[in-house]
Amino acid sequence: MTRLSVNINKVALLRNSRGSNLPNLVQVAIDCEAFGAQGITIHPRPDQRHIRYDDVSALKQVVTTEFNIEGNPTREFLDLVLANAPHQCTLVPDAPDQLTSDAGWNTLRDGARLREVCDELHRNGIRVSVFVDPVPEMVEGAKAAGADRIEFYTGPFAHDFGKNPALAVQPYTEAARVANQVGIGINAGHDLNLDNLKYFQDHCPQLLEVSIGHALISDALYYGLSNTIRMYLRQLEAK
């Protein structure tokens, strides 16, 4: 079964917009787990526009499922990760002023740097996932750099899904087969939603985990958080 990790960045964004503690991010994380989420994902950025650095330690104390911290491996970010020892760290090559992550690593060009980071995280018992586009060479480069998993950037799939689902998912199916051949685990995330999630899972062999935030929190405005998490879980469980 593919595991569902709920990205709570948008909850923090809503909280920060009023400068108070409403909604309570820690309580939302606790509730997401109680409602069935199998992981909590956060992506602290340098401007702290959603997840703040002081949120990380607070969440570390309460998350009982998988805790996944995403981000660009600057020294400041790595120190934050090492101080809070999540189960998984997902390395994402986003610029400080980037609105959202929109491309994967060039694991061939950046392989030496990624190897250094993977080694440091592994020495501290942290599993490493590397954000990549669905390109076989990038998958192989992530494996060569020492990553335990890749996370497919699924934005292009989501964008093209409505026009031609089979064509949209084809690069991911092919890259997933390469990942399975070289022995690296597969995660995925970005714009996966209730419409396209099941199709993606069906065509991405051995998909271990999806990290979903924006769509899930948006759906929760209509369906409620508890019901929405169950709806996403049903997509992943359906045969």
Catalytic residues, which ones?
Answer: 43, 70, 190
Q: Using CA atoms, how far apart are residues 152 and 69, in angstroms rounded to an integer?
A: 16
Give me the helices (H) in the chain, please. 9-16, 25-34, 53-60, 75-84, 111-123, 136-144, 155-161, 165-182, 197-202, 214-223, 225-237
> Are 113 and 144 spatial neighbours (Cβ–Cβ below 8 Å)?
no
Residue burial 149-185, b: 16+ Cβ < 10 Å; e: rest: bbbbbbbbbbeebeeebeebbebbeebbebbeeeebb
